[in-house]
Structure 1
């Protein structure tokens, strides 16, 4: 008898769902059912998109030019605005022709890997990592090689660790600073050392800079291409308006790459999605050209919430939390809680702990298994102050019962 044909391809069947979106969806479903769930799962600012950006979109929607197809790689005006923004914020010049506008940062990440990775290639992936990176690498035919830095290292990998992971199959390094999920920020000196290591060994760097404007205390965003200018010919920069301008739903990201990579990625996008929605692109132009006053106001709120969350989490026995200096995430180690019992349930992993916290305290957090090794939780502080304090207070009370 002939074996039944596979209904779903092995390639797509192997993809793990986004853990962060799954947690957020479950929290929203429980809230819709009437439960007072507080969600720390999604990396999404709770602020509305700035009014001037919304007004630009309304005007764009009335313009018939935006009702038609436009160049697949992005509106020329937006590509020029991205080039000007890169010079303003990152301190180096780029050719607008080297920009591809994508449907959010996730498409840029996937296209970056798809553009340079062949089957058998290895990508060095510092961990903890954003949950989408390994899936994008696998879909491109590559293999990710984890390099882990725990709380004792402030979640920052060293050049020595990267070198130990390098093989003759190493094609690229994923570099994310400020980091999702940890909130760690590499110093200018660390960034330069990593860039020089990659340059020396001919390794591509895919650098995700989506949180560039969200740094705190004495941390500073250091673009790796500015730190090592010669790296520009083997670097792909990922960015977008989602986090900086509270525009997650507008779906505008971009990638900046050398000419040959840009050409390949643009060809791919012409078949995959064609152009990003023109109204969203016009809104992104307004955001990039409109200054950073709203951004600074949001950053100040994130900073206040960051301090509150770190202070409150630090009061819980068994939890260790390096102070995050970027993005809007806290990433506490919960190793001191593993092995304990809580309301009759044994805590054997951070996934167990996250499930107990949701069931017993009605607080949604993402377990470390989504980002690498078990033993950690990710909590976003991109939510209102009152909800943040209430949610962590519930966790304090619940975990106080662990024994």
Structure 2
């Protein structure tokens, strides 16, 4: 491809210069749509969308603000920043509105953060696909560190210490670690012990912590939430959005909470400057809807509680389905993901289907059984592993009426259409792992 500059000079742009392709999660969504358009069978377990209808009051707030077309402040309007500050304060993280910045979703905020901080990025392995991709877009190969055994979302502190010191000895410059609580892709919530150890190690290594807590309100069991900002407040930036707890992924509005420290103030101003060039300001109608939602009105708190029950019921049922055919499956604790490992079935899968990697396994499930899932390798897991990321929301219903019925059901997994999907999944998995 040739690009012609203002002076008439020509430059050749090679697609080989960029390793970044369409996000695996978004590609899965497009694959689902394409199969359905072609009239092919599909069991959609690949895309991490919340899968419930928009609450009518949120839709109403957006409609009321539809005429707000002016550019707003780069960091967000006061009402939305104050609401986000209240949201975090009520969750045990005292926050002032001046330490909050809004953006069109948490993904661009993360990119602006990584750009502002500079240096190399430390990630848990596995981790959500966009963390590594954004690091690569900035010209930095991420430093991946295994998670503690049985956990997810945070690097093992001892392994992180060794990896960072080795990277620095080799001339690299690690400056930030990104964590997710609870985790995508594993559905696990890191323990308080692991988060405290992470914070201590990050302080010793002088690493900024970026805590993606987008699924915080969707932890299935009540109890203390292990936010890094509680133990390393001076060096933790916390992000959230409305896309998961309120199922507003397409509305694109997120927020970041910056440390109340000189470093936090400098970082916020740097990110604000970057934001002014990347997105100017978050769309005004979204900000007004966010100001209402982050206020935790009772009707929306009730909706989130129902969503949490729905996600927990179906995630546990899906995990049980994979376990029933011989997979190792960590019990999901939050969000709407399951992380089955087919390692105990490796021999049968290799003999019958030629499966040697998680990508092979995902391909066979799609081509032979119409099941859309993502390979563990897309999240930084060892390609030779046989892990999959399964998003359970694709079986909540084919219409808003079914999804609403599942949302209010006392036992959502028992709803006829969900039970039928679970039975179909069990049959497909049994056929997949059956002896040739």
Fold similarity call, TM over 0.5: yes
- Cα gap change, 1:305 to 1:220, in 2 (>3 Å): farther
Deviation at 1:142, TM superposition (A): 3.1
Q: Which runs of 5 or more residues in structure 1 are unaligned? A: none
Deviation at 1:336, TM superposition (A): 2.6
- Cα gap change, 1:105 to 1:49, in 2 (>3 Å): same
Residue 129 of structure 1, aligned match among 124, 127, 137? 127
- Cα gap change, 1:85 to 1:341, in 2 (>3 Å): closer
Deviation at 1:158, TM superposition (A): 2.5
Deviation at 1:189, TM superposition (A): 2.6
5 Å-filtered alignment, 1:93-108, equals 93-108=94-109
Deviation at 1:402, TM superposition (A): 4.6
Q: Which residue of 1 aligns with 2:307?
A: 298
Q: Which residue of 1 aligns with 2:390?
A: 379
- Cα gap change, 1:399 to 1:166, in 2 (>3 Å): same
CA distance in 2, matches of 1:170, 1:252: 29
Q: Which residue of 1 aligns with 2:65?
A: 60
CA distance in 2, matches of 1:44, 1:343: 34
5 Å-filtered alignment, 1:280-359, equals 280-289=286-295, 290-291=297-298, 292-317=301-326, 319-341=327-349, 345-359=353-367
Q: Which residue of 2 aligns with 1:35?
A: 40
Aligned-pair RMSD on alpha carbons?
2.1
Q: Does 1:154 align with 2:151?
A: yes
Contact 1:159–1:194 (Cα < 8 Å) also in 2 = yes
Residues 360-389 of structure 1 show CA distances to partners (whole Å, capped at 9, x for unaligned) of 111100011100123210101123153541
Moved more, 204-213 or 252-261: 252-261
Q: Which residue of 2 aligns with 1:261?
A: 267
Deviation at 1:232, TM superposition (A): 2.7
Contact 1:198–1:204 (Cα < 8 Å) also in 2 = yes
Structure 1 runs of 4+ with >4 Å offset = 8-11, 341-344
Q: Does 1:46 align with 2:51?
A: yes
Residues 237-265 of structure 1 show CA distances to partners (whole Å, capped at 9, x for unaligned) of 11111101111111001222211111111
Q: Which residue of 2 aligns with 1:277?
A: 283
Residue 364 of structure 1, aligned match among 360, 369, 372? 372
Deviation at 1:343, TM superposition (A): 9.3
Q: Which residue of 1 aligns with 2:189?
A: 185
**So what's the TM-score if we normalise by structure 2?**
0.84
Q: Which residue of 1 aligns with 2:205?
A: 201
Deviation at 1:49, TM superposition (A): 1.4
CA distance in 2, matches of 1:232, 1:175: 15
Residues 129-184 of structure 1 show CA distances to partners (whole Å, capped at 9, x for unaligned) of 0000011112234331111238x533464221111112233211111110010011
Q: Which runs of 5 or more residues in structure 2 are unaligned? A: 1-9, 259-263, 397-412
Contact 1:219–1:326 (Cα < 8 Å) also in 2 = no
Contact 2:345–2:433 (Cα < 8 Å) also in 1 = no
Contact 1:338–1:350 (Cα < 8 Å) also in 2 = no
5 Å-filtered alignment, 1:169-184, equals 169-184=173-188
- Cα gap change, 1:395 to 1:154, in 2 (>3 Å): farther
- Cα gap change, 1:82 to 1:10, in 2 (>3 Å): farther
**So what's the TM-score if we normalise by structure 1?**
0.90
CA distance in 2, matches of 1:314, 1:218: 25
Q: Which residue of 2 aligns with 1:164?
A: 162
